[in-house]
Structure 1
């Protein structure tokens, strides 16, 4: 079965990889793409969508979205993805023609026009989704599923630390609206699992050796990302954050364990995370929490099988 997907993206390096992956999968059809701030400023996210679409020969509607969170100021991750979001390689990236709607308006219109037929894949801060829910509080019931890259899973075992939950931290208010909204299915693919899905030196060399336009672009944009992540592991390797969310949307068996339950967005005073309201051993947390409809929270993945699929798709 082909999944018809609307992609909401703050088009940085792993977002671009995700678009390449979706376009290379025979069971995926990209229906529309919307831009949001995050990995880069929103105009660059829109430019990057258009650049990747041209590379792929993909002609789909693009709508421009939020340049800042619902409240507060935007945090832009240029130190991770390069100032332009694609590693500052120097591509010619004119602004795209758009539908004339906001991203939120496009998400609402497509959901109403094609109820139950589309999947929504959210790869950046959830601001566009939060704005769309203000227009249509039943929005997520109109999509077959909503899959998002964000969140931190259940509470970790004592002594275990996680990567920053950037997409949630960039707009906690929008994230709270998303996790409390009625839905058909909401799937959270968080940093608890994406950080384990590593594109290592062997896989990166396989991409470099492929020589196809897609594989060449995928490796050209990697240096800024590798520069950042070498500080995490002492090796020039990267996690496949956003691509894993796309993989699980298309093939749920990439997820080997999940828990359905309420997700709250909570802050420690510095950073916000979306958490399943369970400890690592399945118990409720030691504090009161807000009730919420169940979210499918991915807790374990077959990282090796997904990475192999990702490399195979991008090197065809």
Structure 2
């Protein structure tokens, strides 16, 4: 087995973020070094409480730092209708506020990278506000992380007539996302909704989780109902995409990605929603408008969804 990846997780801890922490803790090639909170699918105080709740369930004692409660500009858009108002399905868990670092999330991200350059990976699962704040403290921050992998973006421009899920993590703070994609880096990997939306935890996989006796699997299925309620209105089935877990899987095993393109990413808006896009059309051509130059980002365009879903279920049920 290769050396374990030592990972700092930045998260707006909701259902699939909690699933991601469970998955990382179960993987023998991963070590969670620290966790930072950010608003997004719940308000920041709930994100912090949820981090503490999941880490206690896992028996992990790692630093937790509080991060942004709102975007760099404009109001926060909290998706309580997707994961429940508390982010974990409003099941009434006792979620005391955990002990948190005296440092902000941005300060912790900067310090850890400076102390251990090239040794840590940064996994961003929510709006990119904390990362942008950290870049203001250290513009070369991403060159000090072994890699930065984020769940967000929409890949290259899709073929005409194709519809995509909302690019929520980017849309929640387009200004922060723009700063992230413009920053110098060692390796930046974008795992967008165009690929995470194809990685489905279906009825059979959910049944396997429900049948397992592990505390991780029990908790993972307890918090599913609000999320399933939301996605049944999309697909008519009680299934969910594994958005954030897929980003973690690709960080640990790049072989889950079967195709990618390296190129510049810009954050674009249609006047209603913002997306992070690889500045290429679906057939590899440049877009029909001027765009900003940016360092290359590795944009995942296809994944081995069945293999990843099988690995996710195995990790939570073993």
Matches within 5 A, 1:25-174: 25-174=27-176
Aligned: 1:23 with 2:61: no
Aligned-pair CA distance for 1:69: 0.2
* TM-score (ref. length: structure 1): 1.00
Corresponding pairs, count? 316
Specify every segment of 5 or more residues in structure 2 that has no aligned partner in the other structure, as ranges. none
The match for 2:239 is 237
The match for 1:185 is 187
Q: Deviations over 1:84-105 (max 9, x none)?
A: 0001011000111011110000
Aligned-pair CA distance for 1:234: 0.2
Aligned-pair CA distance for 1:160: 0.4
1:257 to 252, 256, 259: 259
Which whole-Å CA distance do the structure 2 matches of 1:269 and 1:154 have between them? 19
Which whole-Å CA distance do the structure 1 matches of 2:243 and 2:147 have between them? 19
Q: Deviations over 1:100-140 (max 9, x none)?
A: 11000000000000000000000000000000000000000
The match for 1:285 is 287
Aligned-pair CA distance for 1:212: 1.1
| RMSD over aligned Cα atoms | 0.3
Aligned: 1:10 with 2:4: no
Deviation >6 Å, runs of 4+: none
The match for 1:217 is 219
Specify every segment of 5 or more residues in structure 1 that has no aligned partner in the other structure, as ranges. none
Which whole-Å CA distance do the structure 2 matches of 1:101 and 1:95 have between them? 16
SS at match of 1:38: coil
The match for 2:249 is 247
* TM-score (ref. length: structure 2): 0.99
SS at match of 1:155: coil
2:313 to 290, 304, 311: 311
Aligned-pair CA distance for 1:302: 0.1
Which whole-Å CA distance do the structure 1 matches of 2:119 and 2:213 have between them? 36
Which whole-Å CA distance do the structure 1 matches of 2:202 and 2:244 have between them? 16
Which whole-Å CA distance do the structure 1 matches of 2:299 and 2:286 have between them? 15
